[in-house]
Each structure stands twice: as C-alpha cells, then as structure tokens.
Structure 1
Amino acid sequence: MIEFVIDKLSDGIGVIRPVGRLNMVSAPQLNSAVAGLIDEGTVRLVVDLSGTDFIDSSGLGALISGLKKTRQSGGDLRLASPTAQITAVLELTSLNKVLRPASSVAEAY
C-alpha cells in the first residue's frame, strides 16, 4: 500500500511524497497526482522519495511521464531524497542524468 502526501510550497513548487512502494499498482496514482497539480497551475514539481522504499520500472515510467507532462506545461519535475535502492536503480538506468536527484526538497530547485 502507498500513500501520497501532496504539498505546495510558498514559492509555488508542488511536492509529492510517495510513502511506500512505487510500483505498477501505485504508478497510476503518481500520474494522477502530477496531472492534478498541473491542472491547478503548479508546473514546478518535486517528488520527495525519502519515504519510498522501492521502485520498479512502472514507477520509473510514472516519473518520466510526469517529467514530460511538466515540461510540456512549461515547468519541470525533479527528485529529492532518493533512498539507496532508488539511487542504485536511477544510476543503473542512467535516469539520474535526466531526473536530477537532489539530497533534499530545498536543494531540488
């Protein structure tokens, strides 16, 4: 089971924090969260992965889809606080070069 905590910072940045496993079951929920923020006009997003203990290819696909949607809307999507497992997956797939993970939400933008 996964929970998504969504917050908006005072500088207009939206933060999505998936808590649990980001996999084929929960990836559509991430897509919906990203789309919801974009529909509200928030196009600069950070996905805070500090509470995400696992990611699979569907989770990676949802992150790439979110990146594409935000960029098409004139914004960007960045990652913050990836766990060791997620960092390893990002490095193995070279997505760390595209998604630009930062050590914290504050450092992501």
Structure 2
Amino acid sequence: MDRLKLSYEHVSEYVTVVTLAGELDVYEAPALRQLLVDLLNHARWFLVLDMSAVDYMDSTGNGVVVGGLKRVRAHDGMMALVVPHERILKIYRITGLSKVFPIFDTVDRAVEFLGRELGAHG
C-alpha cells in the first residue's frame, strides 16, 4: 500500500508542478526519485514540488528532494517548494535548506516565481 501519492501537471511550456500527498519517507522516497528522473529525462527542468499535503518527511525523503534540486541545477533549471505547514517547514529551517530552496505558501506564487526566473534567464 502506497503511503505517498504523486501526480504532476505541466502548467506551462517549461514549468511542471509535482504534487505530493502522504508520507515522504525511506519507503516512499524512491517513487519520488524516479518521477523526478523521468521528468528530467523529458527536459522538465523547472519544477514546483507542492508539499502542502505531506504529513511526514524523514531524512531520506528530504535527501531525494535535495537530490532533485542538484539534478535540475545540472540542467540550469530550478526547483521551488510549496510548504505551507510549519511541521515540514521547520525541517527546512533547522537544516538550513530554507536558504537553498525558494519556499512558498501557495503553488501560484511558486509558479509565478519560476516564470519570472525563466524570463530573467531566457
């Protein structure tokens, strides 16, 4: 039984929103890793990870998110996170990753940010 539900939507020619719901842990993290690799293999290098419905995340799940950022950066892409709830946001603050990832409270704001970044670089 999957405890993590993943879906994605191409919201523009360049930006893809990946929605995560449930638990992002050592058991479920490989599914996210595979989805990110698949998206990158299809030149989807500007990603929003919507973590609004993530109930729990362990270090393995966090590692997959960081690994995804490294992969998109290798293609001059960007990744923004949507983390509106304190229980997950706290992980990013404690680890210092809130300085590495652009973090937003809504998907719309994250998509707008990536759109502006694309415009600035394109």
Is the pair's TM-score, using the shorter chain for normalization, greater than 0.5? yes
Structure-2 separation of matches of 1:36 and 1:53: 24
- The residue type paired with residue 16 of structure 2 is G
Structure-2 separation of matches of 1:10 and 1:71: 19
Q: Give the TM-score of the pair, scaled to structure 2.
A: 0.84
Counterpart position of 1:43: 45
Cα offset, 1:41, TM superposition: 1.1
Which one of the candidate residues 57, 72, 95 is aligned to 1:55?
57
Counterpart position of 2:31: 29
Q: Which aligned runs of 4 or more in structure 1 are off by greater than 6 angstroms?
A: none
Secondary structure (helix, strand or coil) at the match of 2:7 reads strand
Percentage identity across aligned positions? 28
- The residue type paired with residue 50 of structure 1 is S
Counterpart position of 1:100: 102
Q: Give the TM-score of the pair, scaled to structure 1.
A: 0.93
Secondary structure (helix, strand or coil) at the match of 1:51 reads strand
Which one of the candidate residues 84, 87, 91 is aligned to 1:85?
87
Structure-2 separation of matches of 1:41 and 1:62: 19
Structure-2 separation of matches of 1:78 and 1:31: 16
- The residue type paired with residue 69 of structure 1 is R
Which one of the candidate residues 60, 63, 66 is aligned to 1:64?
66
- The runs of 5 or more residues in structure 1 that have no matched partner are none
